């Protein structure tokens, strides 16, 4: 593809602003734009006009079908395809698409997780058009981004609460902006740029591993002699095969209007990263879902498989997703960017301390928002941020906050002295220590980077929490300041008080050390190590109050999501455990037995030649492998017992706890011994590709 054509292909498969301007009557376009820009509710009468314009555009681009594209609680996207055909009455067909079909769909909700909602409500669900995210074409199908709800209006998806949270934040941030006299601002949106990590491995090798195929990660595998210790992969030259994949991926994503910007290698061998240019949070979430889907598809085309699991390989760096987050006005101002005037800086500081307070008060929710069985392998494992929430602000901003709290002047280059609302703040350089990546939540100059997300996670959950908790703090601030008779003084007091009360969450050191774990405990910060430890706090009174007050989740929705996540944990571990048992019994033990048999044969042949022949190696190997085989055989049986006893528990909470406390440790024991066998079994005997094959063979 010639470079000149990039602007031409960019968004070519998207019914975006440009296309709408071209194809919609002026009035319709204006009404739709108002909805998109300001979240105003849509006039239903325009739906027919929009639908027929969309249909014409889709048909011109070779589409035969349309689908409501939605994001159920499975974490991936779902589609129900319908064709455009409609009988014309004379035996022929016409291609039709009505406003009604655009606005509303009725997929069968019973095949998606509903967490108890199904018992109380009908299995039917409906999807409803989200006009704030553009329709697009994928695989000759017109895809309409939609929300997904039960018939009684309970959200069954990840988009609905995300939109609600953006609205909550908009409402409260607007109150604050009014106080600072921003008359020209009409709305505020959060922005997100999610950096996506992934692994690429050879597709044939992938297919030879039952664990990868069934669970997305390796359940066995001894560490190869060479790991990532040379650190030469990061930003190293991209292999031709991977480079071709990346070019193709970029092009596919650009067509879909995804602002894919940077592609590079990551820390581990075979690991890579894609960073998009940020977008509003709703579109960023849609685009990230699309990105993950397209990555998988394009990898297949290139004879590779894209692993999005958080921890495909034990002992090798896992994959995460960095959620760069900020707040922006419709006039284009980034509210987390220190401004040019004293008033703008005071406003910046207020938003900054709102985030600090929010993260401190809702550490549990942020932790919960990234909780998944896959991510349990990363958080706290000294390669990803720890499971403890803290904020990195960098040395300079830290000093400023300290001065503010103590009412001391802050001087920079001996001239500028800072008091809230009085003097200009410096622009913060991206602190170089920020590159250590040990902080779970870092201020990076004009945005926050939430780094605890797992690579496979939908970014909706973490952003729902971020938007809501910041909305909550802004609401508290606005309630106080709106009553103020001395704004500057009260603002100053509020900022000081907030820093004082929440500075325990600020930590600029190395998050991987044991000292930090101890220090965090002293500070009273939470350390929720696993999904099962974290999830129950979702039901904490303060959290239920937060979500219901801001109309993000009803209590029923909270309960159902809790149940879905716990069940998902149990199901995931269950599949992993059963896969291990299967691989041990059907692949590993028979393979080792064959090797042992060959060694024993060699032993007796050699002894027959000469009774004094040195058969020390054969003897030792056979002995060791026989011991290990017996052990592994028993451990697989124990794992089976553990799974059976966990599975027999019907209460979903006790069930998840049993998987964590009984099954996970039994899996670890089994793996350890099976991996020991791998290191002393002939490679030609080993029944599936090894770590060396997988990560060095692309
Ligand atoms: P790096 O961290 O590699 O130096 P950047 O800081 O430029 O790169 O950006 C990292 C990610 O943060 C990108 O995806 C970028 O689009 C995103 N980002 C930059 N500014 C914002 C913002 N205001 N809101 C949300 N995301 C942003
Ligand atoms: Mg980053």
The model's confidence at residue 295, banded by pLDDT at 50, 70 and 90, is very high
**Nearest residue (CA) to ligand 1, atom 14:** 193
Look at residue 432 and tell me whether its pLDDT is greater than 70.
Answer: no
Tokens in use for 378?
Answer: 């990363």
118 backbone φψ class: left, alpha, beta (φ>0; ψ -120 to 50): alpha
366-418 confidence digits (pLDDT tens)? 999 999 999 999 997 877 889 999 999 988 889 889 988 988 877 665 444 45
From 192, 234, 265, 278, give the residue whose CB has the most ligand 1 atoms within 8 Å, as the site to mutate: 278
574 CA to centre of ligand 2 in angstroms: 33
CA distance 160 to 552: 8
What would the pLDDT profile of 645-671 be if each residue is shown by its tens digit? Answer: 999 999 999 999 999 999 999 999 999
Per-residue confidence (pLDDT) for residue 413, from 0 to 100: 52
- Single pTM value for the model: 0.94
Phi, psi at 443, each rounded to 5°: -85, 125
* Six token digits for residue 268: 């581990």
Q: How far is the CA of 449 from the centre of ligand 1 (A)?
A: 8
E strand or H helix at 592: helix 589-609
CB of 275 shorter than 6 A to ligand 1: yes
Dist CA 193 CA 453 (whole Å): 13
Condensed to tens digits (0 to 9), the pLDDT of residues 275-292 reads 999 999 999 999 999 999
* Cross-strand bridge partners of residue 325: 192, 448
Q: Is the CB of 138 under 6 A from ligand 1?
A: no
By CB atoms closer than 10 A (0-12, 13-18, 19+), residue 108 is exposed
pLDDT at 425 over 70: no
Cβ(321)–Cβ(196) below 8 Å: yes
Give the span between the Cα atoms of 295 and 319, in whole angstroms. 14
- Cα torsion for 28, 33, 36, 39, to the nearest 10°? -90
- Whether 68 lines ligand 1, by a CB cut-off of 6 Å, is no
**pLDDT score at 263:** 80
Distances 139 to 58, 253, 308 between C-alpha atoms, Å = 11, 13, 22
Split at pLDDT 50, 70, 90, the class of 228 is low
CA of 193 to the centre of ligand 2 (A): 9
Place of tokens 């909706």: 460
- Assess whether the C-beta atom of 277 lies below 6 angstroms from ligand 1: yes
DSSP characters over 388-415: S--EE--HHHHHHHHHHHHT--EEETTT
Closest-CA residue to 78 (of 253, 281, 289, 252)? 289
Q: Is ipTM > 0.90 here?
A: yes
58 touches 137 (CB < 8 A): yes
Counting ligands in written order, which one lies closest to the CA of residue 284? 1
Per-residue model confidence as pLDDT tens digits over 437-477: 789 999 998 999 999 999 999 999 999 999 999 999 999 99
Taking the CA of 321 as reference, the closest ligand is 2
Local structure of residue 586 (DSSP, 8 states): I
Q: Is the CB of 579 under 6 A from ligand 1?
A: no
Q: Return the minimum-mean-pLDDT range out of 87-101, 106-120, 349-363, 658-672.
A: 106-120
Q: What pLDDT does residue 414 have?
A: 47
Report the DSSP beta bridge partners of residue 27: none
Distance CA 424, CA 431 (A): 19
**Residue of minimum CA distance from atom 11 in ligand 1:** 193
Alpha-helix runs per DSSP H in 256-320 = 281-301
CA 577 to chain centre: 24
Q: Counting atoms of ligand 1 from 1, which one is nearest the CA of 259? A: 16
SS3 142: strand
- Residues 581/639, Cβ–Cβ less than 8 Å: yes
Nearest CA to 448 out of 281, 606, 308 is that of: 281
> Best of 324, 434, 467 to mutate for ligand 1, by most ligand atoms within 8 A of CB?
324
Atom of ligand 1 nearest to the CA of 276: 14
CB half-sphere exposure, 29, CA atoms < 13 A: 13
Tell whether the model's pLDDT for residue 419 goes beyond 90.
no
Return the best residue to mutate from 282, 447, 451 for the ligand 1 pocket (most ligand atoms within 8 A of CB). 447
CA distance 278 to 620: 59
Please report which helix (H) or strand (E) contains residue 541, including its range: helix 541-549
Domains with residue ranges and CATH for the chain: 3-156 (3.10.20.70), 166-553 (3.30.590.10), 568-696 (1.20.120.1560)
What is the C-alpha separation between 93 and 676, in angstroms, rounded? 65
pLDDT at 639 over 80: yes
Which atom of ligand 1 has the smallest separation from the CA of 326? 24
Ligand 1 atom at shortest distance from the alpha carbon of 277: 16
CA 529 to chain centre: 18
Q: Is 633 helix (H, G, I), strand (E, B) or coil?
A: helix
pLDDT, tens digit, for every residue of 45-93?
Answer: 888 999 999 999 999 999 999 999 999 998 889 888 889 988 888 888 8
Confidence of residue 344 (pLDDT cuts 50, 70, 90): confident
* Ligand 2 mean position, distance from CA 460 (Å): 18
Task: Decide: 434 in ligand 1 pocket, CB within 6 A.
Answer: no
Q: Is the CB of 278 under 6 A from ligand 1?
A: yes
């Amino acid at each position: 593809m010639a470079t000149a054509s990039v602007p031409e292909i960019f968004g070519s498969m998207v019914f975006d602003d440009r296309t709408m301007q071209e194809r919609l009557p002026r009035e319709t376009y204006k009404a739709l734009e108002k909805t998109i820009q300001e979240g105003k509710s849509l006039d239903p009468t325009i739906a027919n006009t929009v639908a027929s314009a969309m249909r014409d555009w889709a048909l011109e681009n070779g589409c035969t079908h349309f689908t409501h594209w939605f994001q159920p609680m499975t974490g991936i996207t779902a589609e129900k395809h319908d064709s455009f055909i409609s009988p014309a009455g004379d035996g022929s067909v016409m291609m039709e698409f009505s406003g009604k079909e655009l606005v509303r769909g009725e997929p069968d909700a019973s095949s998606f997780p509903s967490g108890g909602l199904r018992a109380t409500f009908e299995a039917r669900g409906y999807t409803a058009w989200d006009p704030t995210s553009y329709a697009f074409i994928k695989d000759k199908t017109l895809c309409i981004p939609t929300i997904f709800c039960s018939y009684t209006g309970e959200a069954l998806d990840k988009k609905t609460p995300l939109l609600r949270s953006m609205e909550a934040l908009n409402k409260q941030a607007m109150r604050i902006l009014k106080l600072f006299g921003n008359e020209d601002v009409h709305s505020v949106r959060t922005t997100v740029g999610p950096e996506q990590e992934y692994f690429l491995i050879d597709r044939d090798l992938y297919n030879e591993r039952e664990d990868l195929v069934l669970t997305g990660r390796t359940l066995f595998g001894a560490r190869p002699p060479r790991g990532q210790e040379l650190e030469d992969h990061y930003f190293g030259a991209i292999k031709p095969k991977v480079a071709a994949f990346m070019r193709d991926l970029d092009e596919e994503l650009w067509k879909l209007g995804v602002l894919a910007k940077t592609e590079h290698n990551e820390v581990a061998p075979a690991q890579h990263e894609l960073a998009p240019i940020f977008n509003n949070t709703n579109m960023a979430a849609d685009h990230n879902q699309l990105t993950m889907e397209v990555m998988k598809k394009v990898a297949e085309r290139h004879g590779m498989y894209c692993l999005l699991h958080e921890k495909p390989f034990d002992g090798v760096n896992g994959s995460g997703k960095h959620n760069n987050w900020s707040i922006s006005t419709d006039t284009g101002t980034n509210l987390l960017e220190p401004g040019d005037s004293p008033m703008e800086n005071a406003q910046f500081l207020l938003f900054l301390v709102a985030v600090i307070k929010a993260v401190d008060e809702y550490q549990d929710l942020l932790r919960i928002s990234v909780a998944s069985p896959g991510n349990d392998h990363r958080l706290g494992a000294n390669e990803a941020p720890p499971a403890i929430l803290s904020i990195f602000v960098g040395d300079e901003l830290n000093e400023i906050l300290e001065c503010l709290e103590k009412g001391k002047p802050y001087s920079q280059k001996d001239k500028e002295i800072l008091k809230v609302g009085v003097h200009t703040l410096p622009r913060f350089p991206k602190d170089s220590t920020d590159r250590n990546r040990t902080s779970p939540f870092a201020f990076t100059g004009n945005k926050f980077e939430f780094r605890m997300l797992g690579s496979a996670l939908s970014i909706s959950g973490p952003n729902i929490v971020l938007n809501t908790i910041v909305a909550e703090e802004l609401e508290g601030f606005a309630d106080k300041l709106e009553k103020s008779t001395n704004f500057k003084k009260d603002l100053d007091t509020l900022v000081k008080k907030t820093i004082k009360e929440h500075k325990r969450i600020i930590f600029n050191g190395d998050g991987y050390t044991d000292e930090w774990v101890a220090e965090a405990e002293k500070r009273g910060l939470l350390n929720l190590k696993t999904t099962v430890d974290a999830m129950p706090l979702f039901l904490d009174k303060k959290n239920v109050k937060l979500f219901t007050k801001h109309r993000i989740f009803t209590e029923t929705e909270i309960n159902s999501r809790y149940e879905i996540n716990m069940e998902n944990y149990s199901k995931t571990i269950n599949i992993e455990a059963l896969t291990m048992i299967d691989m041990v019994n059907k692949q590993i033990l028979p393979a080792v037995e064959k090797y042992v048999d060959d060694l024993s044969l060699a032993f007796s042949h050699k002894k027959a030649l000469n009774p004094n022949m040195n058969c020390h190696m054969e003897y030792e190997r056979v002995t060791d492998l026989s011991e290990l085989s017996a052990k592994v055989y028993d451990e697989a049986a124990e794992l089976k017992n553990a799974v059976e006893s966990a599975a027999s528990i019907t209460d979903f909470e006790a069930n998840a706890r049993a998987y964590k406390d009984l099954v996970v440790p039994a899996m670890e024991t089994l793996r350890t011994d099976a991996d020991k066998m791998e290191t002393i079994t002939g490679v030609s005997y080993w029944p599936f590709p090894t770590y060396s094959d997988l990560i060095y063979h692309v």
